[in-house]
Amino acid sequence: MTRTDFRTLDLTTLDVTEMFVDRVELFVKGGDGGRGAASFRREKFIPLGGPDGGDGGNGGSVVVRADPNADNLAGLTMKKHWRAKSGEAGSGAKCAGKNAEGIVLLVPPGTIVRDRERGNVLKDLVQPGDEVIVAKGGRGGRGNVHFKSSTNRAPREYEPGEEGEERWVSLELKVIADAGLVGFPNAGKSTLLSRVSRATPEIASYPFTTKSPNLGIVTIGDNGFVLADLPGLIEGAAQGVGLGHEFLRHVERTRVLIHLVEPFPTDGSDPVKNYHLIRKELREYAVPLDGKPEVVCVSKAELTGANEVRDQLAADLGLEVLLISAVTGEGLQLVVGRVAQMLDTIKREEAEAAARKKPLEFATEGAIRTTDFQTTSVTSITPPSDEANP
């Protein structure tokens, strides 16, 4: 048998219009195994050469792999059905059929792969290089050489080869970022992202200009972190109002939240109430998100009276509230520094927790037989014995 080769499809190079796709369903099928051969050795002066049918090749598998160069699932929308090739049939002289090439679908890190019918998670592709076989190719069938015996010297049996697996899978992308910007529409999230990183999100004076998450790398000396501009939330987002669930699920993987509060909303609403409304949506989401560390900022500090709004919000929360302006740059270094410090603390705590984690230890019989425990013989499993209860 030859080694199975995989044909990698780089979906990031497809000519796709500018769009952000974070959920897609695909039909995948592994290739069928090649059938085994039923042949006999025929050479001059060897009239009874016996069976020499080779095995069929294995079918190709369909693999989903996390690739750091992919940023969303848009490339997968161009084709819904992915079928790997079948293995070649075996032949005489014990020649095995060639294994078929597999297919590798490249997706962004943070993609969750589920079986659509059962709903179970096949794998959460968090790190670049993580992969999962979603449709395994069938094993090639055996040739008649395997069926030879002392009583069957000329077998004509062979195996047709196994069918490849097939299923519908759903891919769901949850953006992986160290910090995420949350807040009501038009709070200045996109402007802030464009000022502290090289990202170029759409910026306009009307709400809901951001319809998909934007990522930017914030550099601090030799270090940095990934900042996500998450689309503006509205009241009722946790119950699916608007595109609530589509937005909130991207918050799940962030370590720190930067909550921007607009001091003078265009709809005349109370900024303090707006803050609590966003916190309510984070708390009522299927996976509660209000426990994440948070940096609270009042944006648009260049506006007269923004300082008073900051003081009012700080008094209501009993916490520090920063005053920033993406236009003038006021407070930007401070908020970036606070987020970097919080991330350092979180990562250090995660590393310490991982170091403290011990491998599972299983109790031995000697450890169980102590004064704190009693052992009882079970008739159907353990036969009665004088040594069962020392």
- DSSP for 164-196 reads PPEEEEEEEE----SEEEE-STTSSHHHHHHHH
Please give the Cα distance from 65 to 90 (Å, whole number).
31
What confidence score (pLDDT) does residue 390 get? Answer: 43
Instruction: Quickly list DSSP for 4-61.
Output: PPEEEE-GGGS---S----EEEEEEEPPPPPPPP--B--BTTBTT--B-PPPPPPPP-
- Mean pLDDT of all residues in 120-137: 91
Mean pLDDT to the nearest integer, 261-285: 87
Q: How confident is the model at residue 201 (pLDDT cuts 50, 70, 90)?
A: low
Q: Give mean pLDDT, residues 129-158.
A: 91
Q: State residue 313's pLDDT score.
A: 94
pLDDT-above-70 percentage for the chain:
78
Feature table: binding site = 183-190, 208-212, 229-232, 299-302, 325-327
| Rounded CA separation 32/10 (Å) | 24
Strand partners, 295: 258
Q: Which of 328 and 205 is assigned the larger pLDDT?
A: 328
CATH superfamily of 21-174: GTP1/OBG domain (2.70.210.12)
Mean residue pLDDT across the chain: 79
Angle at 195 between CA 70 and CA 321, to 5 degrees: 110
- pTM, 2 dp: 0.64
The confidence band for 47, taking pLDDT boundaries of 50, 70 and 90, is confident
Assign 227 a pLDDT band (cuts: 50, 70, 90). Answer: confident
Which residues belong to the annotated binding site for GTP?
A: 183-190, 208-212, 229-232, 299-302, 325-327
Residue 250 has pLDDT above 70, yes or no: yes
Q: In angstroms, what CA-CA distances link 313 with 163, 251, 337?
A: 64, 23, 21
Per-residue pLDDT, 237:
44
Tell whether the model's pLDDT for residue 31 goes beyond 90.
yes
Distance (Å, whole) CA 375 – CA 378: 10
Binding-site annotation, residues for Mg(2+)? 190, 210
Q: What is the pLDDT of residue 243?
A: 46
Check whether 140 has a pLDDT greater than 90.
Answer: yes
- Domain spans, the chain: 21-174, 179-356
Model confidence band, residue 263 (pLDDT cutoffs 50, 70, 90)? very high
Angle at 29 between CA 61 and CA 59, to 5 degrees: 40
Is 179-356 CATH 3.40.50.300? Answer: yes
At residue 223, the pLDDT reads 77
Task: Extract the tokens encoding 115.
Answer: 């079986």
Chain CA centroid to CA 247, Å: 16
> Which of 10-19, 123-132, 133-142 shows the highest mean pLDDT?
133-142
Q: What is the pLDDT of residues 159-200, one digit of tens each?
A: 999 999 999 999 988 777 888 888 888 778 888 888 888 766
Find where tokens 């370590």 sit: 255
d(CA 368, CA 270): 63
pLDDT at 218: 85
65-101 confidence digits (pLDDT tens): 998 888 778 788 888 999 999 999 999 888 999 999 9
